[in-house]
Amino acid sequence: MLSAMKAVVFLLFVFTRCVNGRGVKVKENDKIGAVDLLDLRNAMLCGMNGYWSYLGYGCWCGPSNLGFIATKPGTPPVDDVDNCCLKHDLCYEALAGQCGWAAGHRIGYDSSCTKNKTSVCSSENDFCGAGACKCDVEFVECLKPYPIPNERAKCPSQPIGNVFRAGLDAVQNFLEWIG
């Protein structure tokens, strides 16, 4: 079990160093671009900081509705932040049915960051890209009233997810330590 946990932590470290754009600042009028996995992160960088803090938070926050790890339908969110994640997942599920792709699949879209730190979806996005952008912008706006979490809330119905969260916390602490 420990070696599996080490492997997960290592892979997360590599992924975050290669993909998360650590140190990337989104400035006013920057085009955010159509890079599938990075669109939500970019919308969050435009509107707020702390995007890493939401990965694995509660029952519903995480990529592809892993919720960490595969939240059962009907599981209540642990708090208001987790509820924003649930709403985001449901937004993507509704869009997935209309766009013909599986829930959790991301589609690229174009957006820009305004002076008031809001992502604005490009009018040139197709239907699915516009919908994905709208889901992400609504998610960021939902999170804005709440402070960035210092700790990841645990989902009571997911003991394995809680072990994974401990690995995420270790990776986050390491990344902060190496600065």
Q: What is the pLDDT of residues 59-74, one digit of tens each?
A: 888 765 554 455 677 7
Positions marked active-site: 88, 136
Q: In angstroms, rounded to a whole number, what is the distance separating the alpha carbons of residues 159 and 164?
A: 9
Q: How far is CA 172 from CA 17, 67, 93, 167, in A?
A: 11, 18, 29, 9
Give all domains of the chain, ordered by start, each with its CATH number.
2-178 (1.20.90.10)
Instruction: Give residue for tokens 């809001």.
Output: 118
Convert the pLDDT of each residue in 78-120 to its tens digit: 999 999 999 998 898 888 888 876 544 557 889 999 998 889 9
Q: What pTM was estimated for this model as a whole?
A: 0.69
Q: In angstroms, rounded to a whole number, what is the distance separating the alpha carbons of residues 48 and 52?
A: 11
